[in-house]
Amino acid sequence: MAASIAALPLTDDTGSPTDLGAFRGRVVVLADFLTLCQEVCPLTSANLAAMDRAVTAAHLETKVEFVELTVDPERDTPTRLRAYRKLFGAPANWSLLTGSPQVVARIWSWFHVYYERVPEGSPPATDWWTGGLLTYDVDHEDVLAFLDAAGHERFVIDALPDARGRPLPPALRASLDALGRQNLARPAGDAWTAPQALGVLSWMVGRTLGAP
Protein backbone atom coordinates (compact mmCIF):
# COMPACT_ATOMS: atom_id res chain seq x y z
CA MET A 1 0.00 0.00 0.00
CA ALA A 2 1.34 3.43 -0.92
CA ALA A 3 2.55 5.50 2.01
CA SER A 4 0.31 8.35 0.89
CA ILE A 5 -2.76 6.09 1.20
CA ALA A 6 -1.64 4.51 4.48
CA ALA A 7 -1.35 7.94 6.08
CA LEU A 8 -4.77 9.30 5.09
CA PRO A 9 -6.72 10.32 8.23
CA LEU A 10 -9.51 8.04 9.38
CA THR A 11 -11.62 7.78 12.53
CA ASP A 12 -12.53 4.64 14.45
CA ASP A 13 -15.77 3.85 16.24
CA THR A 14 -14.53 5.47 19.46
CA GLY A 15 -14.00 8.75 17.62
CA SER A 16 -10.20 8.41 17.82
CA PRO A 17 -8.04 9.39 14.84
CA THR A 18 -6.19 6.61 13.04
CA ASP A 19 -5.09 5.51 9.56
CA LEU A 20 -4.39 2.28 7.72
CA GLY A 21 -0.70 2.67 8.50
CA ALA A 22 -1.55 2.10 12.17
CA PHE A 23 -1.97 -1.61 11.39
CA ARG A 24 1.56 -2.14 10.10
CA GLY A 25 3.08 -5.18 11.75
CA ARG A 26 -0.19 -7.12 11.57
CA VAL A 27 -1.87 -9.07 8.81
CA VAL A 28 -5.00 -7.12 7.83
CA VAL A 29 -8.26 -8.43 6.41
CA LEU A 30 -9.90 -5.34 4.91
CA ALA A 31 -13.54 -5.19 3.79
CA ASP A 32 -15.72 -2.42 2.40
CA PHE A 33 -19.14 -2.06 4.01
CA LEU A 34 -21.87 0.26 5.21
CA THR A 35 -23.91 -0.24 8.36
CA LEU A 36 -27.17 0.33 6.47
CA CYS A 37 -26.54 -2.34 3.85
CA GLN A 38 -29.47 -4.75 3.51
CA GLU A 39 -28.10 -7.20 0.96
CA VAL A 40 -24.52 -8.26 1.74
CA CYS A 41 -22.56 -6.39 4.43
CA PRO A 42 -24.14 -8.07 7.48
CA LEU A 43 -23.26 -11.42 5.89
CA THR A 44 -19.66 -10.30 5.34
CA SER A 45 -19.47 -9.20 8.98
CA ALA A 46 -20.87 -12.56 10.12
CA ASN A 47 -18.10 -14.36 8.20
CA LEU A 48 -15.46 -12.01 9.61
CA ALA A 49 -16.74 -12.72 13.13
CA ALA A 50 -16.35 -16.45 12.50
CA MET A 51 -12.83 -15.91 11.15
CA ASP A 52 -11.92 -13.81 14.16
CA ARG A 53 -13.03 -16.60 16.49
CA ALA A 54 -10.65 -18.96 14.72
CA VAL A 55 -7.83 -16.42 14.94
CA THR A 56 -8.47 -15.94 18.66
CA ALA A 57 -8.55 -19.69 19.25
CA ALA A 58 -5.08 -19.83 17.67
CA HIS A 59 -3.94 -16.99 19.98
CA LEU A 60 -3.14 -14.79 16.99
CA GLU A 61 -5.48 -11.91 17.82
CA THR A 62 -2.51 -9.54 18.28
CA LYS A 63 -1.12 -10.58 14.87
CA VAL A 64 -4.28 -10.22 12.75
CA GLU A 65 -6.58 -7.22 12.39
CA PHE A 66 -10.03 -7.28 10.81
CA VAL A 67 -10.91 -3.89 9.34
CA GLU A 68 -14.20 -2.72 7.86
CA LEU A 69 -13.99 0.69 6.20
CA THR A 70 -17.26 2.32 5.24
CA VAL A 71 -18.37 3.33 1.77
CA ASP A 72 -21.05 5.53 3.35
CA PRO A 73 -19.03 8.09 5.34
CA GLU A 74 -21.85 10.65 5.48
CA ARG A 75 -24.05 8.36 7.57
CA ASP A 76 -21.50 6.03 9.17
CA THR A 77 -20.42 8.24 12.05
CA PRO A 78 -18.33 6.83 14.90
CA THR A 79 -21.51 6.59 16.99
CA ARG A 80 -23.25 4.49 14.35
CA LEU A 81 -20.17 2.31 13.92
CA ARG A 82 -20.14 1.80 17.68
CA ALA A 83 -23.76 0.60 17.56
CA TYR A 84 -22.83 -1.85 14.79
CA ARG A 85 -19.88 -3.10 16.86
CA LYS A 86 -22.18 -3.69 19.82
CA LEU A 87 -24.55 -5.78 17.67
CA PHE A 88 -21.74 -8.14 16.66
CA GLY A 89 -19.84 -8.01 19.93
CA ALA A 90 -16.77 -7.22 17.85
CA PRO A 91 -13.47 -7.77 19.70
CA ALA A 92 -10.60 -5.33 19.98
CA ASN A 93 -8.86 -6.58 16.82
CA TRP A 94 -11.92 -5.75 14.70
CA SER A 95 -11.72 -2.10 13.60
CA LEU A 96 -14.66 -0.17 12.16
CA LEU A 97 -13.50 2.94 10.34
CA THR A 98 -14.91 6.03 8.70
CA GLY A 99 -13.48 9.28 7.36
CA SER A 100 -14.28 12.24 5.18
CA PRO A 101 -15.95 11.40 1.85
CA GLN A 102 -12.82 12.58 0.04
CA VAL A 103 -10.48 10.37 2.06
CA VAL A 104 -12.72 7.32 1.85
CA ALA A 105 -12.99 7.80 -1.93
CA ARG A 106 -9.19 8.01 -2.31
CA ILE A 107 -8.61 4.84 -0.31
CA TRP A 108 -11.19 2.74 -2.10
CA SER A 109 -10.08 4.08 -5.46
CA TRP A 110 -6.55 2.90 -4.66
CA PHE A 111 -7.92 -0.57 -3.92
CA HIS A 112 -10.03 -0.41 -7.12
CA VAL A 113 -13.28 -0.81 -5.17
CA TYR A 114 -16.34 0.71 -6.83
CA TYR A 115 -19.18 2.31 -4.89
CA GLU A 116 -21.86 4.83 -5.77
CA ARG A 117 -24.69 6.58 -3.99
CA VAL A 118 -28.05 5.63 -5.55
CA PRO A 119 -31.72 6.43 -4.87
CA GLU A 120 -33.47 4.55 -2.11
CA GLY A 121 -36.05 1.97 -3.12
CA SER A 122 -39.79 2.44 -2.93
CA PRO A 123 -41.12 2.01 -0.35
CA PRO A 124 -37.98 3.13 1.51
CA ALA A 125 -36.35 0.73 3.94
CA THR A 126 -36.09 1.33 7.68
CA ASP A 127 -32.92 2.13 9.58
CA TRP A 128 -32.28 -0.80 11.97
CA TRP A 129 -30.77 1.58 14.54
CA THR A 130 -33.04 4.66 14.55
CA GLY A 131 -36.23 3.27 13.04
CA GLY A 132 -36.30 6.12 10.52
CA LEU A 133 -36.82 5.75 6.79
CA LEU A 134 -33.73 5.67 4.58
CA THR A 135 -33.28 8.40 1.97
CA TYR A 136 -30.61 6.80 -0.24
CA ASP A 137 -28.60 3.61 -0.72
CA VAL A 138 -25.01 2.83 -1.76
CA ASP A 139 -24.19 0.33 -4.49
CA HIS A 140 -20.75 -1.17 -4.00
CA GLU A 141 -18.43 -4.03 -4.81
CA ASP A 142 -17.93 -6.69 -2.16
CA VAL A 143 -14.19 -6.99 -1.70
CA LEU A 144 -12.03 -8.69 0.91
CA ALA A 145 -8.39 -7.57 0.66
CA PHE A 146 -5.60 -9.34 2.56
CA LEU A 147 -2.62 -7.14 3.46
CA ASP A 148 0.63 -8.47 4.86
CA ALA A 149 2.42 -7.03 7.88
CA ALA A 150 4.22 -4.53 5.64
CA GLY A 151 0.92 -3.24 4.24
CA HIS A 152 1.25 -4.94 0.85
CA GLU A 153 -1.88 -6.34 -0.76
CA ARG A 154 -1.32 -10.07 -1.19
CA PHE A 155 -4.72 -11.51 -2.05
CA VAL A 156 -8.19 -10.24 -2.98
CA ILE A 157 -11.60 -11.90 -2.90
CA ASP A 158 -14.17 -10.05 -5.03
CA ALA A 159 -17.40 -11.97 -4.49
CA LEU A 160 -20.44 -12.25 -2.27
CA PRO A 161 -20.11 -14.02 1.09
CA ASP A 162 -21.66 -17.38 1.89
CA ALA A 163 -22.75 -16.92 5.51
CA ARG A 164 -25.05 -19.92 5.84
CA GLY A 165 -24.93 -21.23 9.38
CA ARG A 166 -23.36 -18.04 10.77
CA PRO A 167 -25.19 -16.21 13.57
CA LEU A 168 -26.56 -12.84 12.52
CA PRO A 169 -27.77 -10.23 15.04
CA PRO A 170 -31.60 -10.21 15.04
CA ALA A 171 -31.77 -6.50 14.18
CA LEU A 172 -29.63 -6.98 11.07
CA ARG A 173 -31.35 -10.21 10.07
CA ALA A 174 -34.69 -8.38 10.26
CA SER A 175 -33.30 -5.52 8.15
CA LEU A 176 -32.32 -7.75 5.20
CA ASP A 177 -34.33 -7.05 2.08
CA ALA A 178 -35.50 -9.74 -0.34
CA LEU A 179 -32.10 -9.89 -2.06
CA GLY A 180 -30.34 -10.04 1.29
CA ARG A 181 -32.50 -12.94 2.42
CA GLN A 182 -31.75 -14.69 -0.86
CA ASN A 183 -28.00 -14.10 -0.44
CA LEU A 184 -28.23 -15.65 3.02
CA ALA A 185 -30.32 -18.66 2.06
CA ARG A 186 -29.04 -19.33 -1.46
CA PRO A 187 -25.66 -17.64 -2.00
CA ALA A 188 -24.13 -17.35 -5.45
CA GLY A 189 -22.07 -20.27 -6.71
CA ASP A 190 -18.79 -18.35 -6.38
CA ALA A 191 -19.58 -16.94 -2.92
CA TRP A 192 -16.74 -17.19 -0.39
CA THR A 193 -17.02 -18.97 2.94
CA ALA A 194 -15.26 -18.27 6.21
CA PRO A 195 -13.21 -21.50 5.96
CA GLN A 196 -12.05 -20.52 2.45
CA ALA A 197 -10.96 -17.08 3.64
CA LEU A 198 -9.23 -18.68 6.61
CA GLY A 199 -7.23 -20.72 4.13
CA VAL A 200 -5.81 -17.49 2.71
CA LEU A 201 -5.18 -16.17 6.21
CA SER A 202 -3.45 -19.41 7.22
CA TRP A 203 -1.06 -18.99 4.28
CA MET A 204 -0.33 -15.41 5.30
CA VAL A 205 0.32 -16.09 8.99
CA GLY A 206 2.16 -19.36 8.36
CA ARG A 207 -0.14 -21.38 10.61
CA THR A 208 -3.15 -23.56 9.99
CA LEU A 209 -6.26 -21.96 11.43
CA GLY A 210 -9.01 -24.32 12.54
CA ALA A 211 -12.66 -24.29 11.51
CA PRO A 212 -14.52 -21.20 12.73
Element (H, E) at 157: strand 153-158
Domain count, the chain: 1
Residue 189, in any domain of the structure: yes
For residue 175, give Cα distances in angstroms to 9, 57, 110, 128, 138. Answer: 31, 31, 31, 6, 15
Pairing, β 143-147 against β 136-140: unpaired
Residue 210 — very low, low, confident or very high, per pLDDT cuts 50/70/90?
A: confident
- For 183, phi then psi, to 5°, come to -60, -35
Q: Is residue 151 part of a domain?
A: yes
pLDDT digits (tens, 9 = 90+) for 39-98: 999 999 999 999 999 999 999 999 999 999 999 999 999 999 999 999 999 999 999 999
Residue 81 located in a structural domain: yes
| Position 210 in a domain | no
Q: Is residue 211 assigned to a domain? A: no
The four Cα atoms 183, 196, 66, 56 give a dihedral, to 10 degrees, of: 120
Environment class of 140 (CB within 10 Å of its CB; exposed 0-12, middle 13-18, buried 19+): buried
